[in-house]
Structure 1
Amino acid sequence: MRQPAGRSARRTGGERKPREERWAELIEVATQVFYEKGYEAASLQDIADRLGMLKGSLYYYIQSKEDLLFDVISAVHREGLSVIQARADTEGDPLQRLENVIVGHVEHTCRNLVPTTVFLHELSALPPERRQEVLGSEHAYQGVFRGLIELAQKEGLVRADVDPRLAALSVLGATNWVYRWFRPGGEFTPEKIGAQMAEMVIRGIASEKVLSARVAGQA
């Protein structure tokens, strides 16, 4: 049974682990409450009421509201990271895999607006050391994008003047912002947004030989 992330360093030897089903429900409800009210305005009582349990019962699972936010944020980060790592491990050259990663990230964001919003809005509510614990010392999420850009650059697929770190930050900044304007059921589907954003990114950083090959392939 998975141990809740926020409590890994806080359990004592005699503490029981929460049942997986109840823990998953707690994370889901807390995510929704933080989304609706914001972390600062939300209370543990709000979450307990939504779960139909006593506030004191929450302390079986957590020690504080900050612990709960940490667990919510960690869960969102782990799931998103798993999605883009899977896309990065597909076949193809580094630039093709970067395109797959961008599409996957955008589609995942569009289909998970509530947890994505909580992550992007409330990460800063955690103390710096806990934010670092979520993101990892090497900023694992950003690292997937940066690593593929670096590989593509070494293979001559990305222009030599492109700074991989700056490019990765720019891509994440643009794709993360989708959560602010995407509307489910609207004119633009997650697939269309992902494909077009990926195309714009690739055209912005690709080397001349790659761009020429793409033009030739469309002729």
Structure 2
Amino acid sequence: MKDKIFEKSIDLFGENGFSETSIQHIVDALGVTKGTFYYYFTSKEQILMEIHLRFINDILAKQDAIIQDPNRNYQEKIYEIICMLMKNIEVQGKSAKIFFREMQNLSDGHLSQIFEKRDEFRIKFQELIELGMEKGEFRKDLDSHIAALGILGMVNWSYHWFDPDGPLSDTTVAKIYIDLVLNGIKAE
């Protein structure tokens, strides 16, 4: 039942927003009582935090796997991370939307945990750019911090408009992004 409550919360938060979804909406949609909800969760925010943690921990683990691959150069690793982020938006569409849109509904303590993990992802991405600069794969005159923020901002905003059932697949969008990125930062 815990998983059903969790999944139904993702559906309802994704469709209606966190603030507009009450515990009563969740339990009514499942045909259970509030007591059932409170048996598994202490609050609606606890579910929101769990959605955030699962989402960010998943992409951190995938990022680490890409970074650790000794058979890829830095351009390929950047490409793979962009593909992975786009695939996550496709596969975890509502969770991605909730992650980016509903962050402001977390308490300060929870928000700081998410910011720490989000910064960890960005810093690792920035370090890939810096290593690529050192190896001559990327221009040496880049501001790696701004480049990382720009690339991640471009990709992360895709949750807002990307339609997995639309005319472009996640891979196609990722290829367009990587073409824009690499032709802007590739060494001459």
TM-score by length of 1: 0.79
Pairwise CA RMSD of aligned residues?
Answer: 1.7
Which residue in 2 is equivalent to 1:69? 48
Provide the rounded CA distance (Å) in 1 between the counterparts of 2:152 and 2:8.
Answer: 27
Greater mean deviation of Cα atoms: 110-119 or 86-95 = 86-95
Structure 2 unmatched runs, 5+? none
- AA partner of residue 132 (structure 1): S
Which residue in 2 is equivalent to 1:39? 18
- AA partner of residue 34 (structure 2): K
Structure number with larger C-alpha Rg: 1
Gap change, CA 1:82 and 1:26, over 3 Å in 2: farther
Provide the rounded CA distance (Å) in 2 between the counterparts of 1:105 and 1:155.
Answer: 25
2:92 to 112, 129, 136: 112
Deviation at 1:203, TM superposition (A): 1.4
Which residue in 1 is equivalent to 2:82? 102
1:81-100, aligned counterparts within 5 Å? 81-90=60-69, 91-100=71-80
1:177 to 157, 160, 168: 157
Provide the rounded CA distance (Å) in 2 between the counterparts of 1:88 and 1:68.
Answer: 30
* Structure ranking higher on relative contact order (CA contacts 8 Å, 6+ apart): 2
- Quick check: 1:58 aligned with 2:13? no
More helix by share: 2
Structure 1 unmatched runs, 5+? 1-21, 209-219
Which residue in 2 is equivalent to 1:24? 3
Deviation at 1:40, TM superposition (A): 0.8
Greater mean deviation of Cα atoms: 37-46 or 24-33 = 24-33
Q: How many residue pairs end up in the alignment?
A: 187
Which residue in 1 is equivalent to 2:131? 151
TM-score by length of 2: 0.90
Runs of 4+ in 1 over 6 A off after TM superposition: none
